[in-house]
Structure 1
C-alpha cells in the first residue's frame, strides 16, 4: 500500500529525538549569526498516519550558531496532550480542549518565550533547547485558540494575532505588548466561517482574509473546510487603533494561505501580496494534503504570486498576477513587515517552467525574479531572512533554510546571500530532516537560556 504523500519522500517522519554537537560546516558562517534557527513541521509518531497533513504531530528542529560554529542540532516533538495521550480537540461533552494541539505549524519567540503554534489551539511554550513546558494562555487572558501566524510589529514590538472559529464569534483580534502582556481582545463583527490561516498588518491597519474556503462539516479529513462557490470572497481592512469594524472589499474567488506582506502606498491604498490559489489549484493541493487518490506529486499546485490593491477612497479592489511560478511559504525581511518592501522570497514548486524545487527572490521595483534551483531529489524549505551586521539595504543579509536530500538521505542548514542567493555556508546536520512548514531566526540577545 502506498504511504500517504505527507509521510513519504521528503516528508518521511523521523522516529526519535536526538542531539548532536559541534556540527561540520562547509564554508564560513558569518560571525553575526549568533542565535537559533528553529523550524516546525508535522512528524507523526511511528505507525500513525493522520487523516490530513496538518494533523501530524509537531516536531521542532533547531540549530544553535555562535562564533562561526554550529554548536548543536536537536529535534524534539512538542509533547502536548494530543501527542502523549491522543487527546481530541473536541471532548465527549462537546467542549473544546484547547491544549489538545499537534503544535506543528510554526515556532516563534516573543517577550522571552518560545511558542510552538497550531491555529486551532493554545500556543505551547518550549524552552530554548526545545523541551516542552506546556500550554501558554497569557496569564489566563487568552480564552480561545491562537493563529499560527502572529505578526510582530518591527517598530512597536507588539504581537498582533487572532482566533477564528466556524461558530460565532468567527473572529477575535488580539494584541500583546512588547513585554508579552495581552492588552487588547476584541470581537471583529461581520466576519464569516472561513478558513483564516493568515492575515496581515500595515502601519495603521489590519487586513482580514474572508475567502471562499469555508467550514464544511461534511469534510471528513479532520480539517472541516472546503471550497464554496456560493461564498462571496472579500478582504477586510480595519484600523489598528479604534473599533474593530472592517471595511470589506469584494474580490474575485481565490484562497490565500500565507500573506507575503501588506503595506500602505503613497496614495493611501492597501497593497497585499501572497501566493493565491484558484479553485482548481486549491482542490488539487487538498488532495495531496489528505492523500486522496489522484493527488499530485507535490503539496502545492497552481498557487502563484499575486497582488491585491484595496482603495479606501473608491471602495474597490484591483487584482493582478505577479508571476506564473508555483510558490508558497513567502517571507520578507521582517524589519519591513507592514511597511513597503521591495523584496520577497518564496519556495517554488515543480510546475510552470520548473522541473525541480527552487528558492525564488522577487524584486517588486523591477518586476524581476532570481531563482536558485535545487538539485534533483533535493527540497529546500521556507527561507528565513536574517539581516547582516550593519545592513543598509533591504536585502543585505542571509537566508536560512533546511534542505531534504533524498539522494544521500541527508540535510543541511543552508546559509545563502540574500542579494544573489549564492551559498555562503552550509551546516551538515546529523540526519535527514523531513520537509516542514515554518520557522524563525531567534538572535541570542532576545533570549539565551543555554
Structure 2
C-alpha cells in the first residue's frame, strides 16, 4: 500500500535539522511479511512492537513536535518477524485539515496529530499527543493499524490528555492529566479505572500555563512537575519560552485523597520531558528519577537525576547521578510506581545536536553502575522498550528498539538481552524501509487467553 508522495523541497533548499537526515519523513505506507532476521527472535515474544513519531504528510513542519503521527509496527510471533507496517494516524487534522483553535479562539480537542506515544489500556490501543484527545488504532489480528477514531472516554474527557499516562500495575487504573490553553484551569488530573471508564477529573490550581509533558506515579502519590516553560503564543516555533522567574516546583497529591490538597515543594529551575520512575520510600519520602535539562531550549543535554522528596521537612534533595547524555528513560512497566532496580535510557542525536554515538544505557539504580551497548558507527537507536521474559516484575527480559544505519539509509529492529546488554544483539530484524527518528512506543504482548 502506498500513498501519493508528499511535496518535497528541492535539493538546493536548506532543510531545518528536524527535516533532514533520518528526521525526514517517509512517503510510503508499507506492509511487508516474513522479514529477514539475523540471530534468533526469542519465541516468548508474541505481540506487537509499536512506536509513534512525527511524519509530516506534506514533508514540511515548523517544528519536530508538529508532524502528523505515524505508527510503525512490527509483529513478532513464534520466533518469526511476521510482518511490518507503518500507518499515519487518521486524525481529523490529517483527513480534514481540522485546526486545534478556531477563529474565535475555541479549542477543538479532536484536532491534533497524535504523534507522540502509543499505549494500551482496557483493551484499547491509543495514539497520543498532549494537545488533544487520543485516537484509537486497531491492532486486532487481520487488521492493519487502521485508525478507529477519536476516543474521549464516552464524552467524559473535556481536556487534552498527556502523552505519558501511567498504568498502576496493582489496580490497573490509568492516571493522566491535561494541560494547555490560555485560561484556567491550566491543569486537570484524571483517572480511569481498569475497565477504561473515566472516574475522576479534578482541576488543580497552578499560577500559569506551563508545558507539562510528564509526571510521576507511586503506590500512594501522584507528583506533578510545574516547571518554568511558559505558554507564549508570540514565541516562534513552539509557543513556549523558558522563564526561570516563574520558578520550579513539585506538587504532591495523595492517591487516596484525589480531591485533597496538592502540596507544592520548590526545586531548582530546570526542565524535564521524561520521568524514568518513582516510588515511595516509607511514609514520608518519595524518590523520583528523571532525565533533567538545566534549561529548556538551551544547548545543555539531559542527564539522569534523582529527586528525593521529604514530606516531613517539605524539602527536595536534588542529585545528578551520571554525566552521560540520556533521554527516553524506561523501566519494566510492571514496576511503574514501585521500587525498580534497573532503568534504561537512550543516547542519540536530537534535531540540531549533530552526530552523537548511538547507545543504550542500563542503570543500576541501587549501585550506580551503568552498562552500555554501542551500536557502532552511524547506527542510532530510538527509545528502547522493555519486554519481559517471564512473569517476575524486574526479572529478565529484552530491550527492543528501532536502529537507523546512516551508511545504508535503512533501519532494523534490534533485540538485546537485558542481562547482558553490552553483548551482541539477540536478534536483528531487517526492515523494508527506514524508520525516521520518533518518540515513544510499547511492546504489546498478546493477551493471555
For normalisation by structure 2, the TM-score amounts to: 0.92
- In 2, the alpha carbon distance for the partners of 1:267 and 1:162 equals 25
| Matched residue, 2:54 | 42
| Matched residue, 1:13 | 25
Q: Secondary structure at the match of 1:156?
A: coil
Is 1:207 the counterpart of 2:223? The answer is yes
| Matched residue, 2:346 | 347
| Matched residue, 2:7 | none
Q: Which moved more, 1:404-413 or 1:33-42?
A: 404-413
- On the 8 A contact 2:34/2:81 being kept in 1, the answer is yes
Q: Which moved more, 1:6-15 or 1:310-319?
A: 6-15
Question: 155, 164, 174: which one pairs with 1:159?
Answer: 174
| Matched residue, 1:305 | 304
| Matched residue, 2:284 | 268
- Quote how far apart the aligned CAs of 1:147 are: 0.5
- Quote how far apart the aligned CAs of 1:268 are: 2.9
For normalisation by structure 1, the TM-score amounts to: 0.91
| Matched residue, 1:373 | 374
| Matched residue, 1:412 | 412
- In 2, the alpha carbon distance for the partners of 1:232 and 1:241 equals 28
- Quote how far apart the aligned CAs of 1:390 are: 4.8
- In 1, the alpha carbon distance for the partners of 2:270 and 2:364 equals 24
- Quote how far apart the aligned CAs of 1:350 are: 6.3
- In 2, the alpha carbon distance for the partners of 1:244 and 1:191 equals 18
- On the 8 A contact 1:10/1:379 being kept in 2, the answer is no
Is 1:98 the counterpart of 2:98? The answer is no
Q: How does 1:379-398 map to 2 (within 5 A)?
A: 379-391=380-392, 394-398=394-398
- In 2, the alpha carbon distance for the partners of 1:141 and 1:372 equals 44
- In 2, the alpha carbon distance for the partners of 1:235 and 1:310 equals 9
- On the 8 A contact 1:191/1:210 being kept in 2, the answer is no
Classify 1:446/1:130 alpha carbon distance in 2 versus 1 (closer, same or farther; 3 Å).
Answer: farther
Q: How does 1:246-265 map to 2 (within 5 A)?
A: 246-265=262-281
Question: 143, 163, 166: which one pairs with 1:148?
Answer: 163
- On the 8 A contact 2:347/2:356 being kept in 1, the answer is no
Question: What is the total number of aligned residue pairs between the two structures?
Answer: 426
Q: Secondary structure at the match of 1:49?
A: coil
- On the 8 A contact 2:19/2:60 being kept in 1, the answer is yes
1:89-148 Cα deviation digits (max 9, x unpaired): 101222111111111000011111111000000000111131011110111111111000
Q: Which moved more, 1:403-412 or 1:79-88?
A: 79-88
Unaligned runs of 5+ in 2: 1-12
- In 2, the alpha carbon distance for the partners of 1:177 and 1:362 equals 32
Q: How does 1:35-434 map to 2 (within 5 A)?
A: 35-46=47-58, 48-128=59-139, 129-166=144-181, 167-190=183-206, 192-221=208-237, 223-242=238-257, 243-266=259-282, 268-279=284-295, 282-284=296-298, 301-349=300-348, 356-391=357-392, 394-421=394-421, 422=423, 423-434=425-436
- On the 8 A contact 1:391/1:397 being kept in 2, the answer is no
- Quote how far apart the aligned CAs of 1:426 are: 1.3
Q: Secondary structure at the match of 2:316?
A: strand
Q: Which moved more, 1:264-273 or 1:133-142?
A: 264-273
RMSD: 1.8
Unaligned runs of 5+ in 1: 286-300
- In 2, the alpha carbon distance for the partners of 1:161 and 1:391 equals 26
1:229-256 Cα deviation digits (max 9, x unpaired): 2111101110012124211110001111
Q: Which moved more, 1:241-250 or 1:119-128?
A: 241-250
- Quote how far apart the aligned CAs of 1:389 are: 2.4
- In 2, the alpha carbon distance for the partners of 1:307 and 1:147 equals 23
- On the 8 A contact 1:186/1:244 being kept in 2, the answer is no
- In 2, the alpha carbon distance for the partners of 1:79 and 1:85 equals 9
Q: Which moved more, 1:146-155 or 1:23-32?
A: 23-32
- On the 8 A contact 1:187/1:244 being kept in 2, the answer is no
